[in-house]
A and B are shown apart, each in its own frame.
Chain A
């Protein structure tokens, strides 16, 4: 028996950030990744591919997100400079299977606790999608320092998220 529409929606929403990430790792454009997630959700709901298991649906969603993202990047930029599909498949397969809600909540809590300048650098890079050299100029830092700070922030946020999830 194939999954009902309600379960399809719930399953996709429970993995929304991860599926969008599969698209974003190709497009590196937040809006495009969101559009791709929306489009594949519509496809899933249209029922052209019936799914019997949630895991099947999620796996299909990651693959479709990557393909749609490649099409997007080809139509926009022509030349595709992105990671191999083998690598992207590996990255997608290793997402934990649990719903992402608790992780998102923990991450949001960690983001709220960040010092202002740390949050600023994340916002500049990922909300405003500014390149690192521009961020370096804005903040009066060297380019390497921006990369270092971003790297430390990602690792610190990961640690903080894991700690919150464990308690």
Chain B
């Protein structure tokens, strides 16, 4: 009787009289208050789980809208947002969403281009996001023997059987998933693991040394067996961050460095990158300047200001600014983008709150309250553009 009253209240069908009775009951009865709390906690958890598993109705089309042709040209055609991959077993893997140049050859998923991405779901409910230039092969009965050949992958792992946990291998290391949410990135000669929640056991292939990497920590395994393999806390990220190019930027930036000269301050000129692939496999290029750091470039809040100083040789071609953001616990939050308009041939400064960037992938994605930026990407899609970037700043 009381339970039904509580359930009707939660449903919104209780009358004013019902609510008055319920108020009286709850004031006196701690068990009834307990049931109300329990039902609320369970209800929100059920809703959360479902949202994590199923794309929302308004998120079915997850392609970048710009350029529009991309939607039609990617090899994996998304019908209603979901493609069932047919090999090695039909139901093992699902590409839930993808954007940009994403190809699947039956066992290997390849993501080309800095702003391309794909979200996969394994049969056990684990979710994997490959972002940027990445390639991973999937094997084993549950698709949980994963070889990351290059790039980075963020894993939200479902609970794993103790006898057969998910294992990710890179050319230099092997990570056994003990817990839930982490990012692994394979760079030349080294593998970096950052763990948002749970625990990962990282094994260095060169000598078999291993380390447990716990929540909020990271570790790097390289080919140097004399280096200690140990986990350490994430380096603290600042919320004010800027990069100018009077000196050459870190190698992780994508772009050709130009020292300061009469034509302008130190800057990066665009380099060719893959935007997407046509059905015949040919590449449609993008002209790109970008920076990526899987452990994070800076932290942002929705009201953080992003400032980009840039120019185009042919202003009419326009540009695109995109950032890729993780939640504080390492889950992928989304790619957020905005079209840039050049003000003539000179330098243009774009400055706006990051909340003005639209959730492009997944479409309608919302910026987290606190996020970790892992990619800043500025591009144009015409060779006439000759894009240059002189400064990127978050504050």
Contacts and interface: CB of A to CB of B under 8 A. Distances in A.
Interface string A88-124: 0011001100001001100111010000000000110
B11 A28 contact: yes
Interface stretch (B35-43, B64-72, B217-225): B35-43
B30 interface: yes
B229 interface: no
Contact of B45 (A28, A45, A107): A107
Contact of B42 (A18, A129, A154): A154
* Residue with the greatest number of chain B CB neighbours at <10 A, chosen from A17, A18, A86, A131: A17
A159 to B, nearest CB: 10
B43 A90 contact: no
Interface in A128-167: 129, 131-132, 144, 147-148, 150-151, 154-155, 157-158
Nearest to B125: A112
A108 B41 contact: no
Interface in B26-60: 26-27, 30, 33-51
B205 interface: no
A21 B41 CA distance: 6
Contact of B23 (A17, A84, A100, A103): A84
Contact of B38 (A45, A87, A154): A154
Q: Which of B10, B35, B45, B301 has the most CB of A within 10 A?
A: B45
Given A87-B27, A94-B34, A147-B4, A42 B44 contact: no
Interface stretch (B13-21, B99-107, B314-322, B341-349): B13-21
A127 interface: yes
Contacts of B26: 83, 87, 90-91
B329 interface: yes
B36 A25 contact: yes
Contacts of B265: none
A53 B303 CA distance: 25
A124 B26 CA distance: 27
Nearest to B367: A38
A: interface residue count bin: 35 or more
Contact of A127 (B27, B36, B38, B47): B47
A9 interface: yes
Nearest to B216: A10
B19 A81 contact: yes
A5 interface: yes
B45 A111 contact: yes
A83 B9 contact: yes
A132 B19 contact: no
B38 to A, nearest CB: 5
Interface string A1-26: 00001000110110001101100110
Contact of B40 (A5, A25, A122, A127): A25
A42 B45 contact: no
Contacts of A127: 46-47, 49-51
B11 A154 contact: no
Given A131-B11, A154-B38, A5 B370 contact: yes
A14 B64 CA distance: 33
A120 B369 CA distance: 32
B44 A28 contact: no
Contact of B329 (A13, A18, A25, A122): A13
Contacts of B23: 83-84, 87
Interface string B109-123: 000000000000000
Nearest to B25: A87
Contact of A94 (B15, B37, B46): B37
A125 B8 CA distance: 12
A129 B7 CA distance: 13
Interface in B192-240: 239
A154 B46 contact: no
A71 interface: no
B369 A38 contact: yes
Contacts of B4: 144, 147-148, 151
Contact of A24 (B38, B43, B302, B369): B43
Contacts of A63: none
Given A131-B13, A147-B4, A157-B42, 4 more contacts: A21-B44, A24-B40, A28-B12, A126-B43
27 contacts: A5-B239, A13-B328, A17-B45, A20-B44, A21-B37, A21-B40, A21-B44, A24-B43, A30-B43, A38-B366, A38-B369, A81-B16, A84-B27, A91-B33, A94-B30, A94-B33, A107-B45, A108-B45, A108-B49, A123-B50, A126-B43, A127-B46, A127-B49, A129-B47, A132-B8, A151-B4, A158-B42
